[in-house]
Amino acid sequence: MSLETSSLGPMTKSNVSTTVDTSTVDYVSKDQILQGLPLNQSSLTKVLRELTMNIDSEDSFFVADIGEVYSQFESWVTELPRVIPHFAVKSNPDPAIIKILASLGTGFDCASKAEIKLILDAGVSPDRIIYAHPCKPTSHLLYAKLNDVQLMTFDNENELHKISAKYPSAKIVLRIGTDDSNSLCRLSLKFGAPMSSTFSLLKTAKLLNLDVVGVSFHVGSGCNDDNAFTEAITNARTVFDQASQLGYNLSILDIGGGFPSPKQRDGVEFKTIASNINNMLDKLFPPSMNIKIISEPGRFFSSSPFSLAVNVTSKRAISNDSDSSLQAVPSTSSPSPSNSDDTSFMYYINDGVYGSFNCIMFDHQIVYPQVLVRNGSFELNNMDLQSTTHYNSSIWGPTCDSIDCVASSVSLPELFVGDWILFQNMGAYTGSAASKFNGFEPSQVYYYNSKKL
């Protein structure tokens, strides 16, 4: 499959042209997809069946649907046609996903020298990058200068003096704080200038002869408040007016990230958030202002394409009248089910919170296990499993650390060593923060395409 675009302006479906090669395979490795090996249109079920039933390996693995990435791009263009997405690389720096998004004309939000290098190495021009870190190491700032990455954020006076000394020709964007109290990750606890300081910061930038070109904000990762953008956009307009008083003609509004994964089980829907954003943009930043509006979505693009399959490597049965200490596990997963009898099970799998499931610890995620293969039979979406006796179960990662708990209390039919469990919507803030603690390697990725393009 190959994807090409002819425009980097405000995006519509009509200016994204696609071509598909004659395909020969249902899934490929990372190296193969980067080489452009074509893919058949396939499905998650088909690919998982092939990988779990026909391959003699117990290693955990991701399957990534590149068709879903394209579908998400289409959704973005439909719902937020004025907003050019700059993919937050930190959410998932997978080279194949970056290649696809680059071909679709997105920009990229980078927060470090390594992320900038990754995007430049993918053939993306530096003018499609925003260095969206308000507090940059000097060496990283100099790397951006060396590679002509001009657009970057700031939120404090010291950063202005650093930029003035090291990269005075940079085009800088003032990041303001927001009310992100209803978000999974409250980024304004760490970044964003208070509104009480914005005019002073703009005056300092003016005195330093720095080129302030815009305003940015971030309502927090995993935002669950459909009105969160309302106040933030209003405050951004206030800063635009302040800048105008000082002789600046701002041209960029960066509305940040916080956009939900399309397949999340609860919380506000993307369409609702997008509708509120569009209304506020039309009111405060109408097209007649000729403002370039960008954003920094991460999980919106990266979460739903990735599913993680893990293998049950060990198991223990627990009776309620014994081993009571083993049942006092942390509440890191879905709501507790009712027990079918006095027996519960502990399952040990080959990925955990030091690996892909670090999202439980750092991104406040709740993960939902699905039986994939049970006792040698492929069971995904098998409704007959619902009538099978279920037991209160916990799922544990492979390391020697007792905090390595993936799910503390879930209802599952009895599983066996060698069975497979599936977790969907696992692309955001998972593999990007995985470690090799205890010598366990990160899960590899296979790619497939569900979409006819």
C-alpha to C-alpha distance for 346 and 53, rounded to whole angstroms: 24
At 250-296, the pLDDT tens digits run 999 999 998 887 776 666 788 999 999 999 999 999 999 999 999 99
Decide: helix, strand or coil at residue 425: coil
Decide: helix, strand or coil at residue 76: helix
User: Average pLDDT in the 399-425 region?
Assistant: 95
In a domain, 147, yes or no: yes
Exposure b/e, 94-116, CB count within 10 A at least 16 = b: bebbbbbbbbbbbbbbbbbbebb
At 433 the pLDDT is 82
At 31 the pLDDT is 80
pLDDT surpasses 50 at 355: yes
Q: How many domains are there within the chain?
A: 1
3-state secondary structure 244-267: HHCCCCCCEEECCCCCCCCCCCCC
In a domain, 36, yes or no: no
In a domain, 97, yes or no: yes
Do the Cβ atoms of 255 and 293 come closer than 8 Å?
yes
Radius of gyration of the chain measured on its C-alpha atoms: 24
CA angle 271, 193, 157 (to 5 degrees): 145
At 187-202, the pLDDT tens digits run 566 678 999 999 999 9
User: Average pLDDT in the 299-310 region?
Assistant: 96
At 264 the pLDDT is 66
CA angle 150, 152, 156 (to 5 degrees): 135
In a domain, 163, yes or no: yes
User: Average pLDDT in the 406-417 region?
Assistant: 96
Lookup: tokens for 400: 């020697």
- Cα 240 to Cα 181, 215, 252: the distances in Å are 25, 7, 10
In a domain, 375, yes or no: no
- Which positions are annotated as active-site residues? 400
At 34 the pLDDT is 76
Range of the domain at 145: 66-303
C-alpha to C-alpha distance for 285 and 408, rounded to whole angstroms: 47
**Helix (H) / strand (E) containing 121:** helix 113-121
At 203 the pLDDT is 98
In a domain, 240, yes or no: yes
At 222 the pLDDT is 53
DSSP letter assigned to residue 187: G
In a domain, 298, yes or no: yes
At 14 the pLDDT is 41
C-alpha to C-alpha distance for 323 and 313, rounded to whole angstroms: 21
Dihedral sign for Cα atoms in the order 373, 335, 430, 97? positive
Q: Band of the pLDDT at 104, cuts 50, 70, 90?
A: very high
Query: Any idea what the CATH number is for the domain that residue 201 is in?
Result: 3.20.20.10
In a domain, 11, yes or no: no
